[in-house]
Amino acid sequence: MTILYFAWLRTRIGKADEQVTPPGGVTTLGQLRQWLMTLSPAHAEALGDAALIRAAVNQDYAADDYPVRAGDEIAFFPPVTGG
């Protein structure tokens, strides 16, 4: 699956996107975030506080219990500040 990071998540993790293949036990968005945190100290720091992070699966907002699967486009970002 493709993971995208925006705003300060992008700058803290040091990349805008990455391709990952999580283990079989990772089936929800919340589990995916927890697993991504194991990839590096920067991931752990940036993704650690769920209250500061929003997420989208295939470009729609999704909550922690939302299912994720191979081929999905999943984005993590801070609350939006446009307008």
Partner 1 sequence: MIRVQREDFDAGEEMRQLSRGRRDVGALATFLGLVRDESDSLASLTLEHYPGMTERQLAAVEAEARRRWTLAEVVIIHRYGRLIPGDNIVFVGVLAGHRAEAFAACEFLMDWLKTKAPFWKHEDGGDGWVAAKAEDEERTLRWG
Binding site for partner 1 (CB under 8 A): 4, 6-8, 10, 56, 59-61, 75, 77-83
Q: How far is the CB of 37 from partner 1 (least distance, A)?
A: 20
Closer residue to partner 1 in complex, CB, 16/38: 16
Whether the Cβ atoms of residue 58 and residue 73 lie closer than 8 Å to each other: yes
Instruction: Give whichever of 1 and 4 is closer to partner 1, judged by the CB atom.
Output: 4
- Number of Cβ within 10 Å of residue 83's Cβ equals 3
Give the C-alpha separation, 51 to 34, whole Å: 14
> What's the number of CA atoms in the CB half-sphere (13 Å) around residue 13?
24
Residue 71 CB neighbour total at 10 angstroms: 8
CB 56, min distance to partner 1, A: 6
Measured from the CB atom, is 27 or 58 closer to partner 1? 58
CB 23, min distance to partner 1, A: 27
